Chain A
Amino acid sequence: GAVVSQHPSRVICKSGTSVKIECRSLDFQATTMFWYRQFPKQSLMLMATSNEGSKATYEQGVEKDKFLINHASLTLSTLTVTSAHPEDSSFYICSASREPRAGNTIYFGEGSWLTVV
């Protein structure tokens, strides 16, 4: 069964509103989670590294004020797309590893389709 759960799987929101996507590790603690964005027919682009209890680390070119990441517990990270615009429509996916700094398997959530209308 899934070890990383992402919710919602699909969301439609109006332009200018904010939307939150959750990523949960179901049976292990994840001090670090990752958020990716995937454009059609492209690979996964790392947006940010979510660190439990501290600020997220954003990749170059990713607007931290637009994509708010909160990692309030060892099993939950959230991505909030603020003031969403149609160009933010995309597939967002998170990942987590069972063991920090270990080469154990990286598990992915099911992904979330965001459509901004």
Chain B
Amino acid sequence: AQTVTQSQPEMSVQEAETVTLSCTYDTSENNYYLFWYKQPPSRQMILVIRQEAYKQQNATENRFSVNFQKAAKSFSLKISDSQLGDTAMYFCAFLSGGYQKVTFGIGTKLQVIP
């Protein structure tokens, strides 16, 4: 079974600064997908970024980028120029290539401080 570990229960960052959220996972598969989801107080799950394991290039989406280290099974999220609207819970998630069952980490609560 796959596991996803987020070791930072809470983090804070000053507005306009950069913050990195960590995520590690464990799997014996070679084909899979990784995601970061944002969950604001509204509880809506919002996709932040996704990474296919077969792609070596790190995914980027505007201010969000990942550092995907496949051998180390690490998938960290970097948020640049943090904004107040980035305040939310962030969940790292794993999806096996052959299935649609998603495994979530326990989440990291990010607070952006004005």
Task: Using CB atoms and an 8 Å cutoff, list the residues of chain A in contact with chain B.
Answer: 32, 34, 38, 42-44, 46, 49, 91, 93, 95, 97, 100-101, 103, 105-108, 110-111, 113
Contacts and interface: CB of A to CB of B under 8 A. Distances in A.
A15 to B, nearest CB: 24
26 contacts: A32-B100, A34-B100, A34-B101, A34-B102, A42-B106, A43-B91, A43-B105, A43-B106, A43-B107, A44-B45, A44-B91, A46-B101, A49-B101, A91-B43, A97-B100, A101-B99, A101-B100, A103-B32, A103-B33, A103-B52, A103-B97, A105-B50, A107-B47, A108-B45, A110-B44, A113-B43
Contacts of B106: 42-43
A43 B95 contact: no
A101 B44 CA distance: 24
B25 interface: no
Contacts of B35: 105-106
Contact of B44 (A32, A34, A108): A108
Interface in B57-114: 91, 93, 95, 97-102, 104-107
Contacts of B105: 43
A95 B102 contact: yes
